Structure formats: C-alpha cells, structure tokens
C-alpha cells in the first residue's frame, strides 16, 4: 500500500477509536496467536486495499469502520458455552457496536452479514459488506494456516535435537 494510502487508512482507524474502545479486542485470541484486535485491523486493511486495487468505489469510511467492528463480540470464543459461535457472533458484535458507536445502516449490514453464507438470512447487501465478507475469509484462512505451520515447527526442532543427542 502506498504511504499516502496507509496514512489515510490509519486516520480512519483513529477517527473511529478516540476512546480506544476497539482495544478491548486485544484481550481475546482470534486464531493461533492473533488477537481479535489484530484480526480486525488486518481485515480492515485488506478491505481498504481490495477497494483500491479493484476500483470498487466503496465508501471508505464505512468500509473501514464496519471492518473494524465486524468481530466486536468481546468474549473468548475458545471458552464460550453460549450459542454456536460461528453463526451467533455477528449478532453479538452488532449489539455491542450499536451500544458503543453510532452506526450507519451500511455499517450494521457489514457486521451482521460478514459470516454469510453461514448466516443465510443476513446477506451482504452493499459492496462494502461484500468486500468485508471476502476479506474476513481470506484473513481467517491465513491466520489458521499460519497457526498450523507454527505448531508444526517445534516438533521438527525437537526431533533434530534428539538425533544430535544420540550421535
């Protein structure tokens, strides 16, 4: 991303987050060792880049705000005994986001529909929601794959160390 685009992106992030409410998401792990906060920043940045790269002309401010809040569910889903996290968490994220921020209808749809087609009744209705829905899946797949690779590494090192010890 060009320096000027990165600057504009970070400005949009700062504007949404004057009270640092988004940082509550630093307390929760999304996938592997990635916090929900890091995840939503990645999704917002990728959404912003997709919009630029494909000249989609989505509304940048709403795109970034919706992406930053799409996983604002604020609980540890690894130790969660409520409703099934996958289809449930967009509803929880929207409820929290509406409590803490003034949202547009477009931003609400981005949050509520980001897990589509897992939530068949909540369809991405705008180009902003479609972009975030896709960017979220790309980032989630990347985090999960990266976490698997990281888990495999120590085993290999352990094996090498034992062999050296024996010879």
Could you list the residues that contact Fe ion (CB under 5 A)? 71, 136
Q: Which one-letter DSSP state was computed for residue 118?
A: S
> Among residues 58 and 93, whose Cβ is nearest to Fe ion?
93
> Among residues 79 and 157, whose Cβ is nearest to Fe ion?
79
- Cα–Cα distances in Å, from 115 out to 19, 70, 107, 129, 152? 27, 9, 14, 10, 29
> Among residues 113 and 126, whose Cβ is nearest to Fe ion?
113
**Shortest reach from residue 41's CB to Fe ion, in Å:** 11
> Among residues 104 and 119, whose Cβ is nearest to Fe ion?
119
**Shortest reach from residue 29's CB to Fe ion, in Å:** 13
Q: Give me the numbers of helices (H) and strands (E) for the chain, helices first please.
A: 6, 2
> Among residues 7 and 78, whose Cβ is nearest to Fe ion?
78
Q: What is the dihedral of CA 156, 158, 160, 165, to 10 degrees?
A: -170
**Shortest reach from residue 120's CB to Fe ion, in Å:** 16
- Cα–Cα distances in Å, from 52 out to 92, 135, 158? 30, 13, 45
**Shortest reach from residue 2's CB to Fe ion, in Å:** 25
| Residue 59 tokens, joined | 């509304």
- Cα–Cα distances in Å, from 69 out to 4, 81, 90, 146, 165? 24, 22, 10, 23, 51
**Shortest reach from residue 89's CB to Fe ion, in Å:** 6
């Amino acid at each position: 991303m060009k320096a000027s685009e990165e600057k504009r992106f970070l400005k949009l992030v700062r504007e949404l987050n004057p009270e640092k409410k988004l940082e509550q998401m630093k307390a929760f792990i999304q996938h592997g060792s990635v916090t929900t906060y890091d995840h939503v920043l990645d999704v917002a940045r990728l959404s912003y880049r997709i919009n630029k790269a494909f000249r989609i002309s989505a509304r940048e401010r709403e795109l970034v705000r919706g992406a930053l809040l799409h996983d604002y569910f604020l609980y540890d889903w690894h130790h969660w005994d409520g409703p099934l996290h996958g289809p449930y968490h967009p509803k929880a994220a929207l409820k929290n986001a509406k409590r803490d921020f003034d949202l547009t209808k477009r931003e609400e749809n981005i949050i509520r529909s980001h897990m589509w087609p897992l939530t068949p009744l909540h369809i991405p209705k705008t180009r902003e929601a479609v972009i975030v829905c896709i960017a979220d899946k790309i980032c989630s797949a990347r985090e999960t794959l990266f976490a698997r690779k990281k888990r495999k590494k120590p085993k290999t090192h352990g094996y090498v160390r034992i062999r050296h010890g024996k010879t």
